[in-house]
Amino acid sequence: SQQGEEDPQALSIQEGENATMNCSYKTSINNLQWYRQNSGRGLVHLILIRSNEREKHSGRLRVTLDTSKKSSSLLITASRAADTASYFCATWGGSEKLVFGKGMKLTVNP
Amino acid sequence: DSGVTQTPKHLITATGQRVTLRCSPRSGDLSVYWYQQSLDQGLQFLIQYYNGEERAKGNILERFSAQQFPDLHSELNLSSLELGDSALYFCASSTRDRGNYGYTFGSGTRLTVV
């Protein structure tokens, strides 16, 4: 069963613009992770934020977590055509597995 | 190259057949996870092994089985294949027996059942 739901399901922007993706989840978590998947390829881990953290940065990525609202957002600044991919949020609640959302497609037009 | 190796990359087989997918985890990783990705179901967790032992089971059909060998590589066996088993099958590995660290994914095996 899906835990996280990404929103919007698809986003199309121009190069240089910022892209914001949101993730909502249902149960309590230990951490939330974001992954990127290029078409037909494996998922690549981008960033992990723990439940006691509110914001984290990694290069052009900024992730926030609001545990009271059970939501997270991923911001990609100054987007590039190479950022075109599907993005997934995944939650870990202390059991053995990560639970992934259905993903959202980001298209960055040159 | 993520360090997680999956073979074969593509597989086309007929209904009713049996196939074996292979995964070699990143060096030093003891945990192996198998996921199935299809268009309508998204990424579904199948099963996890840690250092040779089964640790967690997800939505894995009885027709599917897996194991992790002493050298830590893992195999996912799919039998009595049906058209609906067509999907991308991913293996991922991690350093610890927990989701408290990111997973490293392989590039997947695309299975087509005809």
Question: How many other CB atoms are found less than 10 A from the CB of residue A92?
Answer: 23
- Beta-strand relationship, B109-113 and B10-13: parallel
**Peptide bond just before A8 cis, omega within 30 deg:** yes
Structure tokens at B24: 């070699």
**Whether B28 contacts chain A with CB within 8 A:** no
Which residue(s) pair with A21 in the sheet? A74
Q: Which of A2, A92, A102 has its CB closest to that of B99?
A: A92
Mean of the per-residue pLDDT values for chain B?
A: 93
Residue to substitute from B34, B46, B60, B103, interface A, most A β-carbons within 10 A? B103
C-alpha to C-alpha distance for A44 and B104, rounded to whole angstroms: 7
Mean of the per-residue pLDDT values for chain A?
A: 91
CB within 8 Å: A98 and B45: yes
pLDDT digits (tens, 9 = 90+) for B71-111: 999 999 999 999 999 999 999 999 876 667 789 999 999 99
Identify which of A68, A69, A58, A73 has the alpha carbon closest to the alpha carbon of residue A104: A73
> 3-state DSSP call for residue B1?
coil
Find the angle CA(A89)-CA(B40)-CA(B57) to the nearest 5 degrees. Answer: 65
Residue A96 has pLDDT above 70, yes or no: no
Structure tokens at B102: 């990111």
Q: Which of A2, A42, A98 has its CB closest to that of B107?
A: A42
| End-to-end Cα spacing for chain A | 36
Q: What is the pLDDT of residue B97?
A: 65
Residue A94 has pLDDT above 60, yes or no: yes
pLDDT confidence band for A1 (50 / 70 / 90): very low
Contact B21, B32 (CB under 8 A): no
Residues of A with CB under 8 A from a CB of B: 2, 30-31, 33, 35, 40-45, 48, 88, 92, 95-103
Identify which of B53, B13, B49, B50 has the alpha carbon closest to the alpha carbon of residue B34: B49
B55-76: average pLDDT: 95
CB within 8 Å: A95 and B56: yes
